Structure 1
Amino acid sequence: MLNMLSISFGVAIAAYGEARFDVRGVALQLAAVAFEATRLVLIQILLTSKGISLNPITSLYYVAPCCLCFLVVPWVFVELPRLRAVGTFQPDFFVFGTNSLCAFALNLAVFLLVGKTSALTMNVAGVVKDWLLIAFSWSVIRDTVTPINLFGYGIAFLGVAYYNHVKLQALKAKEAQKKAAQADEEAGSLLQERDGHGDRKSDNQA
């Protein structure tokens, strides 16, 4: 819980230190984060709940048509009128095709990661993705990064590092418990074999 609060606090400081702060943009971004978190939690329920146990490919088979239906509605009312206003618009099927392949690969990777770890891990990984985007915008586009931004990113980085440390320790403890259980099972089977061998010897001597 502490690491999640530190990550959220760091991101909030970084947003507060934005050089061109826009309340509407921040509100839209927060809404997008909330919807994305909800989507990831639902994906985790779909992949890991008892009685469902869908694999990533099967999950995409059911989820993709739903996504298409939900995206068509805003496309018809927002994008289509703009495309009609531009009479010279010609769809590039190569661009659309490569974009579709990238989207498929991204969704497949998300489903695999959520299925193997959790939705929380995916959200934390999203923070790292945001850092990479900010680094790209600063180094290539020459966007402005303030000291408050860097301070907030530093706090968020410490939170992510602590989260990864806790996850790694939990995985090590789980692996150690699994090895100990296997060793106990092997020792129990050896004792049973010895007892059975001793019983056979006593029967033969009798």
Structure 2
Amino acid sequence: MPAETGKTERRSLQFELAIQYGCMLLWVTLSAAVILINKYVLSFSGFPYPIALTCSHMLFCSGAAAVLVKMGTPGWFEVTPISNETYVKGIIPIGVLFAGTLWAGNAAYLYLSVSFIQMLKASMPVVVFLVGVMFGTENLTLITALNMIVVGTGIAIASYGEILFVPIGVVLQVVSICTESIRLTLVQILLQRRGIKMSPISTLYHIAPCCFVFLALPFTYIEIPRMLRDSRLHVNLPLLLLSAFTAFALNIAVFLLIGKTSALTMNVAGVCKDWLLILLSVLLYGSPVTKTQLWGYGLAFLGVCVYNYRKVQAQVKDKQESVQLELKPKQLEAQDGRR
């Protein structure tokens, strides 16, 4: 019996890992699509307004989540009720940080190439790790710290080799990385630590309207006056709808992935997406990439891969130890019965 139980638990672990990697693949695909579409909208379609673009995303996400909730399908589309205290302490900070991430991140596409932005984004595991240590969601160890140093060194080399280095674009991307790292950690705490069980739709249902409100303020006072004076403004509604729909699907995938794994694991998986986007950026938009950048990013990629491998090994070990602890009382009972 113990051997059969062990095999069952191993199959269960393999199934869980398959789900996690499936969520990672879905997130990588949707994230790459959103980035490429947004770059085209902001840089090539005659619509250089990042706040307006992100406002449309959050408005679409809010409406789509509300419609799905009204459909009343049990389980997936149910809304988890939350208290006013949880909304103030949990949802509003996430909404504010999400608005900052979207605003700064999309604005960076006006100044930097997709390939360089993705290289900068590879530093996300370092920032998420530091934020996770501060919030107690990650444990600081020497080996992990060394991994993060390797990643940071690679990003520094890649930045040094960038041809089109625009300081304001780099600052915007750094702000986006910092706000996103804190946001992802807070989402993890909301979903896992506080014992709040929310489906991806329910999470987006609560957070998207809050994010839209905080984006609507700068949109009203900063971009609307500029748009009214812009004689070259071109609004491609089908393209904006495609961008909004892809962003909605991506947000669902983000919350699903964080609920199944962790914020840091999501960013580790993002390194594979970054390689894909660098290649697509060169092929589609002609973004310049130097050998120095590739060497630097390759070093960062190696550091993240080592971290990801150690993370999976630790997860397998913890699961095996949990199985052994569950089996031990049963084994003792069986021994007592034979006596």
TM-score range (shorter-chain normalised) is 0.7 to 0.9
Instruction: Name the counterpart of 2:222.
Output: 78
- The answer to whether residue 260 in structure 2 is matched with residue 116 in structure 1 is yes
Partners of 1:88 and 1:155 in 2: how far apart? 43
Q: Tell me which of 107, 130, 155 is aligned to 2:299.
A: 155
Instruction: Name the counterpart of 1:165.
Output: 309
- Counterparts of residues 42-191 of structure 1 (less than 5 Å): 42-86=186-230, 94-191=238-335
What are structure 2's unaligned runs of at least 5 residues? 1-144
SS in 1 for 2:285: coil
Deviation per CA, 1:95-119: give whole Å up to 9, x if none.
4443332112111111111122222
Work out whether residues 6 and 159 of structure 1, in 8 Å CA contact, stay in contact via their aligned partners in 2.
yes
Using the size of structure 2 for normalisation, the TM-score is 0.52
Identity of aligned residues (%): 44
- Counterparts of residues 29-48 of structure 1 (less than 5 Å): 29-48=173-192
Q: Tell me which of 146, 168, 175 is aligned to 1:24.
A: 168
Partners of 2:312 and 2:195 in 1: how far apart? 29
Work out whether residues 47 and 56 of structure 1, in 8 Å CA contact, stay in contact via their aligned partners in 2.
no
Deviation per CA, 1:47-87: give whole Å up to 9, x if none.
11234343332221111111111111222233322432357
SS in 2 for 1:43: helix
Partners of 1:86 and 1:24 in 2: how far apart? 22
Partners of 2:291 and 2:239 in 1: how far apart? 38
Moved more, 81-90 or 159-168: 81-90
Instruction: Name the counterpart of 2:151.
Output: 7
Tell me how many residue pairs correspond in the alignment: 195
Partners of 1:53 and 1:173 in 2: how far apart? 26
Counterpart amino acid of 1:126? G
Counterpart amino acid of 2:154? G
Partners of 2:231 and 2:283 in 1: how far apart? 37
Deviation per CA, 1:132-156: give whole Å up to 9, x if none.
2222122332322112101111111
- Assess, with a 3 A threshold, how the Cα gap between structure 1 residues 190 and 41 changes in structure 2: closer, same or farther: same
Work out whether residues 268 and 308 of structure 2, in 8 Å CA contact, stay in contact via their aligned partners in 1.
no
Moved more, 163-172 or 122-131: 122-131
